Amino acid sequence: MPEITINYWAVLVAAAANIVVGTLWYGPLFGKAWKRMMGFTDEAMRQMKMTVKGAYLGGIVTALLIAYVLAHDAFVWGSFFGAEATFGFALSLAFWVWLGYVVTTQAGSVLWEGRPWKLFFLNAAQSLVSLIVMASILTFWR
């Protein structure tokens, strides 16, 4: 197998795209539904210990981490399977990462924390959209 090469600019752009998708998803698109399913009020959110700045900093770190790992997976899977940089490859990469790692870990919120299935589907769908966008960036910009 060839030496793994990572395009760090693509990782940065994919991480930024992840943050944009999350901001839109949990903001204007589904923010009110998410807050309702989480049982949050505006007042309760203002009193949380985590500040918006701290949450975004944590989000940036996790977005960079997932973008880097996804870039690694794209390189390895692409090399192993001889896959070309196509949307089909990006979609397949995103789907299998989502199904195998994201869905299985997010299901714990329903199974062990008693969260509603609607919240699980909202969060899982956001993860899938983010992964598709990120995998597309990382696949085409190697």
Q: Is residue 3 part of a domain?
A: no
CA distance 25 to 36: 14
Interval 47-98: pLDDT, tens: 878 787 888 899 999 999 999 999 999 988 776 666 677 899 999 999 999 9
96 burial level (CB within 10 Å; 0-12, 13-18, 19+): middle
Total structural domains within the chain: 1
Domain that holds residue 19: 8-140
Match 């959110």 to its residue by tokens.
Answer: 45
Q: What is the pTM of this model?
A: 0.90
Contact 94, 135 (CB under 8 A): yes
Q: Is residue 78 part of a domain?
A: yes
